[in-house]
């Protein structure tokens, strides 16, 4: 931790879970972010798959500054600029694009590019990265893949995303190489569209309590 407080990656590690959020506009973004915060998880990765993503990030960054907001599904250098200008404090990509990573590094914003193979990981290390997103985690081998990749690449931290749920969350978080796990079960799209903030908060609190059992057991 620096004298100025925890870094973004340290905040993600402390959260242990990164909610992957799909919203259509700023109001949905604010509703989700507030529900996550109220559930004890002030982190949101807003995917850049919708036209309203940038507006949602901007609204969260402006109105809920205690929520660590990032942008997901960032696949071009232009999107890096757009997301950061909107207020994203970290970036996530489904794959590894050197131009995207370099642009993020140029402007000093942490990025977690997706990797699925040893070659992807080597490319990430060549770019100076110390943490990556394992995606799609359930397809490439789940917790077993993290363990297998950790042997030849000690020190690299993973954020498994894709198929992570309350049922297998602890299988990932129990692994030393896992920084945090990304998931969307607590922010299910149907709940967001229905504005069921109470259920999102309940699921979030449940996820936080689940993750905390590992800390308690290890204490």
What are the boundaries of each domain within the chain?
A: 17-210
Which residues are marked as active site? 45, 133
pTM for this entry: 0.95
pLDDT score, position 218: 46
pLDDT score, position 5: 78
The CATH homologous superfamily for domain 17-210 is Aldolase class I (3.20.20.70)
Please write down the long-range contacts of 136-139, taking CB distance under 8 Å and 24 or more positions apart.
136/161, 136/162, 136/163, 137/161, 137/162, 137/163, 137/164, 137/172, 138/162, 138/163, 138/164, 139/163
- Residues of the chain scoring pLDDT < 70: 1-4, 215-219
């Amino acid at each position: 931790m620096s004298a100025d407080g925890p870094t973004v990656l340290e905040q993600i590690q402390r959260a242990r879970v990164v909610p992957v959020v799909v919203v259509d506009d700023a109001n949905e973004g604010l509703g989700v972010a507030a529900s996550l915060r109220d559930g004890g998880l002030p982190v949101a990765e807003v995917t850049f798959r919708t036209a309203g993503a940038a507006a949602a990030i901007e609204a969260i960054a402006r109105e809920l500054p205690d929520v660590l907001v990032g942008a997901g599904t960032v696949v071009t250098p232009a999107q890096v600029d757009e997301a950061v200008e909107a207020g994203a404090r970290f970036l996530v990509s489904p794959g590894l694009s050197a131009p995207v990573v370099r642009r993020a590094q140029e402007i000093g914003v942490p990025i977690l590019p997706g990797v699925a193979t040893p070659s992807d990981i080597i490319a990430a290390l060549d770019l100076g990265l110390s943490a990556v997103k394992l995606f799609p985690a359930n397809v490439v081998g789940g917790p077993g893949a993290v363990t297998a990749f950790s042997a030849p690449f000690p020190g690299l931290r993973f954020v498994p995303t894709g198929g992570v749920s309350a049922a297998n969350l602890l299988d990932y978080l129990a692994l030393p190489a896992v920084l945090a796990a990304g998931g969307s079960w607590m922010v299910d799209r149907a709940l967001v569209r229905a504005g069921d903030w109470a259920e999102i908060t309940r699921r979030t609190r449940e996820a936080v309590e689940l993750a905390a059992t590992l800390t308690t057991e290890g204490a």
